[in-house]
Chains A and B, each alone.
Chain A
Amino acid sequence: MSPWLQHTIFAVVAALAVIAALLVVTRRNPIYSALFLIIVFGSMSAIFLLLEADFLGFMQLLVYAGAIMVLYLFVIMLINPREGDLPEEGATSDRVFAGGTAALVFCLLWFTIHESKMLTDDPVIFPTLPSLGRSHGSTEAFGLELFHEHLLVFELVSVLILVGIVGAVHLSIRARKSAPEDSVELTSDSSPVDRSEDRAEDRAEDIDRAPRGSGNQEDVTRV
């Protein structure tokens, strides 16, 4: 690929990513956010490809766009928040403050990168890779390095995923025969019998708190 083409693609994709990212964090409706996030991830994987990380680029697309974001959308659909369920966003001052913080973070990071000695003599384009037996970024090369150099981590990740599975199951499973607590959860508001004082308290708190998000009141109490 010729350098100018790389420049152009990068510029376009980066711009896309920036815009999409900004949209992700500013859209009120989470579905839009999710969709824009997919765009960000997509542009990312494009950049990865540009950076000769072929395998990773595809993994990015698969896992992020394909799996994680689907999960998000799935959950969004599952809970199906109506307009009223969407939380009132913070006041402008809050946003300004958050924005200020984020901007400052960016400034400092920018400064760091800017001041870095290593990066100041950075060539405009990445150095050309020596042509070896395997191509850089290919699945084979990637896999070999992964299993030789990072075997332990690879195994550990399996535990990580296992924990994730167990956790997700434990947290989101609705009820078990012998575990009454979750079943109550869902019906607690409409259940004729309150099982404990504690819950009554909880509910009372909800009602107390409700006026703050005044628009939601109706929706919050609805099942």
Chain B
Amino acid sequence: MPTELVFTRAEFAAVLPSAILFATGLLQLLIDAAIGDRDPDGDRGAKTHLVLTGVAGALLAFAALGAASGDISVRLFAGAMSDDAFGRFAAGVIILATLLTTLAAGGYLAALGKHRGEFHGLLFFGAGAMVLLAQSTNLISIFVAIETLSLAVYILAGYVRSWRESAEGAFKYFVMGAFSSGFLLLGMAFLYGSTGGSIQLSDLGDPLKDEVLSSVGILLVVIGFAFKVGAVPFHSWVPDVYQGSPALAAGWMAVAVKVASFAALLRIVLAFGANDSLARMLAAVAVVTMVLGNLAALNQTNLKRMLAYSGIAHSGYLLIPVVVILPQGGMREASAGALFYLAGYLLTTIGAFAALAALRQGDRDCDTIEGIKGLARRHPLVAVALSLSMISLAGIPLTVGFMGKLFVFRDAVENGYTYLALIGIITSIISVYYYLRPVVAMYFHEASEPAQKTEPAWGLHLTLTVTSLGILLLGIFPNRIIELSIESVKNVGS
């Protein structure tokens, strides 16, 4: 064992994006602490410097991500992480989500009267942890990364202390999150035991492993991740947390946590190798998740809650590729479907939540169907953005949501999981109903009472524009991203 620390260039490159994110977060905290209170506009101002720092940091991180693209290095930091296209793809999505959220956050938080460095700081700490999670290849770093991002997310969920829902949601999230961490950790312990003392993902597939420990261990780990992505029956926290969180935090959570978790889950599952029983079980979970998520969303009047259930449903769709790659002879390339789906999901979900954020009334989120009635007249741009998001979530063509579903369902059918695709499709039909409801409210109804007209800040505008254009562009010209996603799953480090 060498006594001095060796720090290779590859390791540096690999860790750079998350390092930049962490540093940005820290910087924002410091800046805010140093000059935040002296800001002439105080809380009411947009605190542009926070936003700008965030944007700069995210862009830098993105650049760092892009700079290293091409070379793949595995087993960095003694196997703690690997720098591969798979991780970079997920990291890219996460950073993009963070960027858009930051961009939108300025005006939104200022309007809520809650604009502080903590929001941005936690956002970036969480994002850094997520990026690391997506790149992690051993159980310890996965665990710690998960916990780090979870903590950040718990706090963001309870960010607005003056809302009771916020505290309640944060608490629920925390308790259940810690509970699930217990299971995840137990699973990791079993995996550790089953492999004969290795925590490296690449050893999970060891043919000499202890079967029962390994099976139970992987199941417990999967349960931990199922909780994170909100799969039934580990979903109970999702609606309450989304409803309680400030809209932007909810959107970021929905996307970034899902991306990071699915990336890690896919990495684990790919490393673990074929397991028919797990595939069957996950298939069942996926079915239940799709059905319950969509059905429960049907009668929601609270938009955030509706989006939460929709998020559950989408986790169900996202589980399909995981199921597809699991059995003996499963198609490993199917995981590309999940990646692409997530990229699309990023745009749609951030778009939807940002639209809600743009519509806040006073210091509350505007999150009821009632509140967006007649919106098409008040805020045409926001209405268009929200509609596009809804249409994309519903999976209607010319939006990225359709392409994602096409990709995922196609792989499912191709690998003999027609029934999963069938259920996915049937539930999609159901989902159309509730995704249309906001559109109906915005376009077909007139406002029930003259709501105060608030002009969304430029950051929100920009975010909405980006997401809307992105939804359409990726819906029409998805090839580049799809190729990228396929490319990135060819060689997944573990």
B residues within 8 A CB of A112?
190, 212-213, 216
Whether A152 contacts B141 by the Cβ 8 Å rule is: yes
Interface 9-residue window, one of B125-133, B330-338, B400-408: B125-133
| Residue of A116, A144, A162 touching B212 (CB-CB under 8 A) | A116
Least CB distance from B24 to A in Å reads 12
What residues on A are CB-neighbors of B42 within 8 Å?
A: 178
Per the bound structure, the CA–CA distance linking A220 and B343 in Å amounts to 48
Q: Which residues of A contact B77 (CB under 8 A)?
A: 150-152
Within 8 A of B (CB), among A108-143: 108-109, 112-113, 115-119
Contacts of A118 in B (CB 8 A): 193-194, 196, 210, 213
**Chain B residue with Cβ nearest A182:** B161
**A181→B362 CA distance, assembly (Å):** 14
A206 CB, min distance to chain B CBs, angstroms: 10
A101 to nearest B CB, angstroms? 12
Q: Are A160 and B43 in contact (CB under 8 A)?
A: no
Are A159 and B193 in contact, CB atoms less than 8 angstroms apart? no
Minimal beta-carbon separation of B37 from chain A (angstroms): 7
Q: Is A157 at the interface (CB under 8 A from chain B)?
A: yes
**How many Å lie between the Cα of A112 and that of B37 in the bound state?**
57
Query: Across the interface, do B144 and A160 meet the contact criterion of CB distance under 8 Å?
Result: yes
* Chain A min CB distance to B174 (Å): 10
Is the pair B80, A152 in contact by a Cβ cutoff of 8 Å?
A: yes
Instruction: Assess the A160–B151 pair: CB atoms within 8 A.
Output: yes
Let me know if B29 is at the binding interface, CB within 8 A. Answer: yes
A116 B158 Cβ-Cβ under 8 A: no
- Residues in chain B near residue A170, CB distance under 8 A: 116, 118, 122, 155, 159
Question: Separation in Å of the A139 CB from the closest CB of chain B?
Answer: 15
Q: Using CB atoms, name the residue of chain B closest to A145.
A: B1
Set of chain B residues within 8 Å of A113, measured between Cβ atoms:
213
Count of inter-chain pairs, beta carbons less than 8 A: 118
A79 within 8 A of B: no
Q: Are A159 and B155 in contact (CB under 8 A)?
A: no
- Residues of A within 8 Å of B29, CB to CB, are 166
Q: Contacts A181-B161, A181-B162 given; indicate if A147 touches B212 (C-beta within 8 A).
A: no
**In-complex Cβ contact of A117 among B125, B128, B152, B210 (8 A):** B210
Q: How far is the CA of A109 from the CA of B121 in the complex (A)?
A: 40
Residue A82 at the chain B interface, CB threshold 8 Å: no
B359 near A: Cβ within 8 Å? no
Q: Is A88 an interface residue (CB 8 A)?
A: no
Q: Which residue of A lies closest to B39 (CB)?
A: A178
Residue pair B155, A171 in contact (C-beta under 8 Å) = yes
Shortest C-beta distance, A179 to chain B (Å), equals 7
Pick from B140, B154, B196: contact of A153, CB under 8 Å: B140
Q: How many residues of B contact A (CB 8 A)?
A: 54
Task: Contacts A118-B213, A144-B3, A171-B158 given; indicate if A153 touches B121 (C-beta within 8 A).
Answer: no
Q: Are A150 and B154 neighbours in the complex by a CB distance under 8 Å?
A: no
Most chain A C-beta atoms within 10 Å of own C-beta, residue among B15, B144, B158: B144
Whether A86 is near chain B, meaning CB under 8 Å from some CB there, is: no
Partner of B132 from A145, A156, A166 at Cβ < 8 Å: A156
A16 sits at the interface (CB 8 A): no
Kindly state the separation between the CA atoms of A144 and B78 in the bound complex, as whole angstroms.
13
Q: Secondary structure at chain A's binding surface: helix, strand, loop or mixed?
A: helix
* Residues A156 and B141 in contact in the complex (CB < 8 Å), given A151-B5, A163-B122: yes
A159 touches B22 (CB 8 A): yes
- Docked complex Cα distance between A113 and B170 (Å): 35
CB of A164 closer than 8 Å to a CB of B: yes
- CA–CA, A164 to B216, complex, Å? 31
Residue B20, interface by CB 8 Å? no
| A45, chain B: closest CB distance, angstroms | 18
Interface membership of A83, Cβ < 8 A: no
B490 interface residue (CB < 8 Å to A): no
Shortest C-beta distance, A64 to chain B (Å), equals: 15
Known contacts being A112-B216, A144-B3, A159-B128, is A166 close to B155, with CB within 8 Å?
yes
Residues in A neighbouring B2, C-beta threshold 8 A:
148
Asked whether any CB of chain A lies closer than 8 Å to the CB of B164, the reply is yes
Q: Give Cα distance in the complex from A117 to B194, angstroms.
A: 10
Within 8 Å by CB of B141, from A153, A164, A185, lies A153
B residues less than 8 Å from A159 (CB atoms): 22, 125, 128-129, 148
B1/A156 in contact, CB under 8 A: no
| A184 contacts the other chain (CB 8 A) | yes
Q: A residues within 8 A CB of B78? A: 148-151
Q: Mark B72-108, 1 if CB is under 8 A from A, else 0.
A: 0000111011000000000000000000000000000
- Residues on A with C-beta less than 8 A from B194 are 116, 118
- List residues of chain A with CB within 8 A of the CB of B210: 116-119
Question: How far is it, in angstroms, between the C-alpha of A149 and the C-alpha of B158 when the chains are bound?
Answer: 35
Q: Using Cβ atoms and an 8 Å threshold, which residues of chain A touch B170?
A: 171
B257 to chain A, nearest CB (A): 14
Give the distance in Å from the alpha carbon of A6 to the alpha carbon of B59 in the complex. Answer: 58
User: A182 vs B158: C-alpha distance in the bound complex, in angstroms?
Assistant: 13
Q: Which of A151, A156, A162, A179 contacts B144 (CB 8 A)?
A: A156
Q: Are B5 and A152 in contact (CB under 8 A)?
A: no
Give which listed residue, B37, B43, B151, contacts A167 with CB less than 8 A: B151
**A180-195: which residues lie under 8 A (CB-CB) from chain B?**
181-182, 184-185
Specify the chain A residue showing the minimal Cβ separation from B81. Answer: A152
Task: Given A116-B212, A159-B22, verify A167-B148 contact (CB < 8 Å).
Answer: no
26 A-B pairs within 8 Å (CB atoms) are namely A108-B216, A112-B212, A113-B213, A115-B212, A116-B212, A117-B210, A149-B78, A151-B77, A151-B78, A151-B80, A152-B81, A152-B141, A156-B141, A159-B148, A160-B147, A163-B125, A163-B126, A163-B148, A164-B151, A166-B29, A166-B118, A170-B116, A171-B155, A171-B161, A179-B114, A185-B161
Interface residues of A (CB under 8 A from B): 108-109, 112-113, 115-119, 144-145, 147-153, 156-157, 159-160, 162-164, 166-167, 169-171, 177-179, 181-182, 184-185, 198, 202
Closest 10 CB pairs of A and B: A181-B162, A167-B155, A152-B77, A152-B80, A160-B148, A118-B210, A149-B78, A170-B118, A112-B216, A163-B151
